[in-house]
Amino acid sequence: MIKEARNKAEFNSSVEDVWEIITNRNNISWRPEIEKVEFINEEEFKETTINGLVTKYIIEEKESCKSYKLKMKNSNIDGIFEAKFKKTGENSCVVELYQKNDIKSVGAMIASFIFVNLQKLQNRYIYDIKKRLGEM
């Protein structure tokens, strides 16, 4: 089963600042749901949530201040995450987010209907970025 979400966020910050927050895996302090990040190599890393879920990411595309695409995999899903960046002013930008999850099992599918709303997760992600930028 496939679940998808799209979102568009406007930021009152430079595209460079927003890019740095989204792509810098060394500073996860603004992401309250992430406990740790482990680096495998330049293109691969793992994130562990506060609930112990480990997700492996592979960077598929990284064009500075323009495009960031990740392939992701954990025990419940295979998916992709994409962020497209557009400068709209000296200190403003728009980021378009897209996430697609292919849910692996019936149990994960049931849990995703009850507990996982990708649109709400993206909204929280945007809120956390804005909070980190001092926009909240």
Q: Tell me: the pLDDT tens digits for 81-105?
A: 999 999 999 999 999 999 999 987 6
In this predicted structure, what is the pLDDT of residue 53?
93
Of residues 61, 95, 59, 103, the one with CA closest to residue 79: 103
Return the H-helix or E-strand segment holding 87. strand 77-89
Average pLDDT of span 36-54: 95
Binned at pLDDT 50, 70 and 90, residue 116 comes out as low
Mean pLDDT of the chain, nearest integer: 91
In this predicted structure, what is the pLDDT of residue 86?
98
Task: Give the global pTM.
Answer: 0.89
Of residues 105, 78, 86, the one with CA closest to residue 8: 86
Q: Tell me: the pLDDT tens digits for 4-33?
A: 999 999 999 999 999 999 999 889 999 999
Residues facing residue 71 across a β-bridge: 58, 80
Q: Which residues have CB under 8 Å from 76's CB, separation 6+?
A: 53, 103, 104, 105, 108, 111, 112
